[in-house]
Amino acid sequence: MIAGAARRLLLGVADSERIRARVVGTPATRAVVDRYVAGDSASDAVRVARALRADGLLVSLDYLGEDTTDAERAAATVSEYVQLLGQLAAEGLSDGGAVEVSVKPTAVGLLLGAEGGGPSALGEKIATEHIEKIAIAARDAGTTVTLDAEDHKTTEAGLRIAAALRSRLPQVGSVVQASLRRTEADVRALAAPGVRMRLCKGAYAEPVSEAFAAAHDVDKSFARCLRILMSGPGYPMIATHDPRLIAITRSLSLNRGPDSFEYQMLYGIRPDEQRRLAASGARMRVYVPYGSDWYRYLVRRLAEQPANLAFFLRSLSSLS
Ligand code: FDA
């Protein structure tokens, strides 16, 4: 695993427009994108979802995009999700939550009106209304919606939006990041019957005041949160590719039924393990992103894996 400092550096410099243009323009990039992203269009996403369902896997579809400060773009993202859910329902793919959607609050307006610090009250109101529309479309399609977790400045608002909607639309799930110091307390506070809670390590570069810097501290936090979730009344969604954490999940699951929680992994990462877990009778969901706005998602995946990092550095070394 690459050092946390190198990972944070990569996540930081990747926001430069010059670097973005270079990486996006490198011919080899497409092959890397294709490993992690289903394609540009909703029909690509539905095609991949259909194939994964045929292999016994559950799916969460994510329309790529984040940090929008354009109100029209935020509204267009909502329309994309509503249409996608209609398409999934028409094909019977969303029945019983088999294919659901994941939504980033900042893609649907959370940062509208923000000035540097965190989200504004206006942004939170718009994002709540937008997510409610998506959640109603999900309910009508017989499925669920999960609100992705983004950087720590959006954590409080993201959890608040999910809590506000959950009383009317219980299929709205939340994501918590083991990397954040606050998460263990959040996990305890959110434990309630049926609440859908995804636990992941966290993919963002965060200040040490907010997050654990060392990978082993993140792993220990993950294990603590995992124990709370797996012994609680909610529906845990354990999102990791880490073999040790998967083994701990399996041993903790012996006290609860296989339908009372699920494993989650990203499209393109450890696909054999995904199929192995599904074949063993576990609920295994694959997170499948699609859309043309893949750059930031790709950078997060590259930052997690040393072999991928070499690809990124090659693109940078040709910067003049
Ligand atoms: P870790 O990074 O330690 O990887 C464990 C092993 O998995 C590696 O040794 C390698 O074998 C394999 N692996 C991991 N990443 C790889 C890669 N990119 N390419 C190839 N192999 C790789 N984050 C967030 O901040 N907000 C969110 O909402 C979500 N949502 C989410 C949903 C789902 C379904 C998953 C699986 C993950 C997320 N994440 C996320 C991302 C998460 O926070 C984390 O960054 C990644 O899952 C990588 O962490 P692991 O737990 O896999 O461990």
Kindly give the distance from the C-alpha atom of residue 299 to the centroid of ligand 1, in angstroms, as a whole number.
Answer: 12
Residue 163 covered by a domain: yes
Catalytic choice (7, 198, 285, 300): 198
Please give the pLDDT value at position 1: 47
Tell me whether residue 130 is in a domain: yes
The answer to the question of residue 301 being in a domain is no
Distance between CA atoms of residues 268 and 274, nearest Å: 10
Q: Please confirm, yes or no, whether 219 is among the known catalytic residues.
A: no
What does the pLDDT read at residue 320? Answer: 45
Distance 241 CA to ligand 1 centre (A): 6
Closest atom of ligand 1 to CA, residue 266: 36
- Give the residue whose CA is nearest to atom 21 of ligand 1: 269
**Between vectors from CA 221 to CA 216 and to CA 227, what angle results, nearest 5°?**
125
- Report the nearest-CA residue for atom 37 of ligand 1: 239
pTM of the model: 0.95
CATH number at residue 173: 3.20.20.220
Q: What is the pLDDT, as a whole number, of residue 317?
A: 66
**What are the residues whose beta carbons fall under 8 Å from the beta carbon of 160, sequence distance 6 or more?**
124
Give the contacts of 290 (CB within 8 A, at least 6 positions apart): 37, 38, 39, 40, 41, 42, 44, 45, 48, 61, 62, 63, 64
Q: How many Å apart are CA 50 and CA 194, to the nearest integer?
A: 27
Residue 108 near residue 74, CB atoms below 8 Å: yes
Mutate to test the pocket of ligand 1, among 241, 242, 298, 302 (most ligand atoms within 8 A of CB): 241
- pLDDT at site 315: 67
Q: Residue 22: inside a domain, yes or no?
A: no
pLDDT at residue 18, rounded to an integer: 81
277: in domain = yes
- Classify the C-alpha dihedral 150-108-237-267 as positive or negative: negative
> In the 8-state DSSP scheme, what is residue 106?
G
B/e letters for 41-69, b = 16+ CB within 10 Å, e = fewer, are ebeebbebbeebbeeebbbbbbbbbbebe
> Which atom of ligand 1 has the smallest separation from the CA of 240?
51
Cα dihedral 61→225→304→156 (10° resolution): 70
Q: Is 179 left (phi over 0), alpha (psi -120 to 50) or beta?
A: alpha
pLDDT string in tens for the chain (320-residue length): 445 777 777 787 777 888 888 788 887 788 889 999 999 999 999 999 999 999 999 999 999 999 999 999 999 999 999 999 999 999 999 999 999 999 999 999 999 999 877 899 999 999 999 999 999 999 999 999 999 999 999 999 999 999 999 999 999 999 999 999 999 999 999 989 989 999 999 999 999 999 999 999 999 999 999 999 999 999 999 999 999 999 999 999 998 989 999 999 999 999 999 999 999 999 999 999 999 999 999 989 988 886 777 776 776 665 54
Which residues form ligand 1's pocket by a CB distance below 6 Å?
1, 148-149, 175, 177, 200-204, 239-242, 264-266, 269-270, 287, 301, 304-305, 308
Is 63 inside any structural domain? yes
Residue 224 maps to a domain: yes
In a domain, 279, yes or no: yes
What's the total number of domains in the chain?
A: 1
Of 7, 22, 148, 301, which is the active-site residue? 148
**148 in active site:** yes
> Residue 131: which domain range?
37-293
CA dist., res. 276 & res. 31, Å (int)? 25
d(CA 252, CA 247): 9
- The residue with tokens 């950087």 is 151
